[in-house]
Amino acid sequence: MSDQVLRNDTQSGKNAVKWHTLFGSFFSYTLDAMDFMFLALALPVIIKEWNMSLGDAGLLGTSTLIGVGLSSIVLGWFSDNYGRRKALLISLAIFGVFTVAIAVSQTWEQFMVLRFLAGLGLGGVWGIASAYVSETWQAKHRARATSFVLSAWPVGYGLAALLSSIILPQYGWRALFTCGLASLLAMIYIYFFVPESKVWQENKNKREIEADRPAKVSVKELFSAGLAKRTILATLVSCCTLTAYWGINTWLPTYLTKERGLSVEMMGMFLIVINVGMFIGYQLFGYAADKLGRKKICILSFFGAAIMIPIYVFTDHVTVLFWMGPLLFLFFSQAGVFGAYFSELYPTHLRSMGAGFCFNVGRGLSAFAPFLLGSIATKYSLGTGFALCAITLIIGAVLTLFLPETSKQAGAAAALESEASA
């Protein structure tokens, strides 16, 4: 009887850990997305106040994405060497502090530097959270769990849109960026309720015993035999899809206000509804990925988004545009599946850095998308730039064909490791 009670207590403890990890990661990524999207939402007001060209304004988004690309390497390396929990706390602290600092910037150059520094924290959360959740949830539920956590992105975007609709008209863009202080709340929750990943700890201890020395990982392991092809292809897939996403996402508020004539308040409502569609897409595609495979669902979402982009661009009627937005962004939810997919491409000791590298270096490579679309908009229109983004999604779908289907490979090292430890 006592053994049964002990087993029940142990199982109850594991369940509590996985749910705390799920919620803590969701909360952290919500605030990450919220801080990330403050720039896109405030950009129309900043452009007007500082009399900026669309190209120069696009560089503010570019500087963010460059910082994000570097963050994935630095914080991913830190996470795999020193723990998920410490790395997540550091990420939250960095982007919270520098987002608030933007509120007191006086020049375009200061803004760009501070946004780059904020990006050094913003890019770390995705890979850390993906690894954290992958190590606490069983493989059969993993895509749904990671998709749920990463569906915090549209929640954070919607929250940012709601805050901007309230704050921007009355208090201006500087007040909006002070909301970065909210990252402190996530840090408190992580510190008190989310323990270090047991899988990471056990794997690190095992490797140190086998090597008879401190076990350290390095970026070059991502390009070792057997992993180089995966790393390169997954990074390119991420780059192609995120070029489309960030190109559209950075300029969507400006597109809705300048080319479709919406007020700032109405634009905020459009963005909230769009992100409801994206949130639903994360859940649908996460469920489908657990049932049908990560690779198939990624390809489906790429083609779906590629088809919907030109339809959305050529929609003139405001009411139809309102309802087409959620349908378009339903297919922009592949990042949720990436959380499980990219994590399963790597063994435990490389999981955070590997997944984060592929996703966030892809984001870094897509850094010039906001600038390029701004330049295209200067000569043609934002709608024209949006339509061209469909091409990069199709390229991403083709590249995905050359990646393995991890969820169906019984011999995949990462999948076996995670299943055994769950």
Query: How far is 53 from 237, CA to CA, in rounded Å?
Result: 31
- The position carrying tokens 């830190």 is 78
In the chain, DSSP finds a helix count (H) and a strand count (E) of: 20, 0
Is residue 11 very low, low, confident or very high in pLDDT (cuts 50, 70, 90)? low
Is residue 267 very low, low, confident or very high in pLDDT (cuts 50, 70, 90)? confident
Give one DSSP letter per residue of 251-315, joined into a string: HHHHIIIIIS---HHHHHHHHHHHHHHHHHHHHHHHHHHHHH-HHHHHHHHHHHHHHHHHHHHT-
- Asked whether residue 136 carries a pLDDT value surpassing 80, the answer given is yes
Determine the pLDDT at residue 421.
38
What is the mean pLDDT of the segment spanning 63-68?
A: 85
Q: Are 413 and 347 in contact (CB under 8 A)?
A: yes
- Asked whether residue 9 carries a pLDDT value surpassing 50, the answer given is no
* Dihedral Cα 313, 316, 319, 320, nearest 10 deg: -50
**Which amino acid would we find at residue 214?**
P
Cα–Cα distance list, 172 to 44, 96, 261 (Å): 11, 19, 20
What is the mean pLDDT of the segment spanning 405-422?
A: 46
Higher pLDDT, 319 or 374: 319
- Asked whether residue 3 carries a pLDDT value surpassing 50, the answer given is no
Hey, what are 146's tokens?
A: 């990671």
What is the per-residue pLDDT across 213-227, written as a single tens digit (0 to 9) for each? 666 777 888 898 789
What is the per-residue pLDDT across 163-208, written as a single tens digit (0 to 9) for each? 988 999 899 999 999 999 999 999 999 999 999 988 888 888 887 7
Class of the CATH domain delimited by 13-421 = mainly alpha
Global confidence as pTM:
0.76
Least confident of 19-28, 96-105, 259-268: 259-268
What is the mean pLDDT of the segment spanning 53-62?
A: 81
Query: How far is 193 from 199, CA to CA, in rounded Å?
Result: 17
Q: Are 361 and 123 in contact (CB under 8 A)?
A: no
Determine the pLDDT at residue 212.
55
Phi, psi of 272 (to 5 degrees): -65, -45
What is the per-residue pLDDT across 224-246, written as a single tens digit (0 to 9) for each? 878 999 999 999 999 999 888 87
Q: Are 185 and 123 in contact (CB under 8 A)?
A: no
Determine the pLDDT at residue 415.
41
Q: How many CB atoms are located within 10 Å of the residue 27 CB?
A: 24
- Asked whether residue 422 carries a pLDDT value surpassing 50, the answer given is no
Determine the pLDDT at residue 413.
42
Is residue 12 very low, low, confident or very high in pLDDT (cuts 50, 70, 90)? low
Q: Are 421 and 199 in contact (CB under 8 A)?
A: yes
* Dihedral Cα 145, 146, 148, 152, nearest 10 deg: 150
Higher pLDDT, 337 or 419: 337
Determine the pLDDT at residue 214.
62
Query: How far is 114 from 153, CA to CA, in rounded Å?
Result: 22
Identify which of 328, 278, 336, 1 has the alpha carbon closest to the alpha carbon of residue 155.
278
Q: Are 311 and 305 in contact (CB under 8 A)?
A: no
Is residue 418 very low, low, confident or very high in pLDDT (cuts 50, 70, 90)? very low
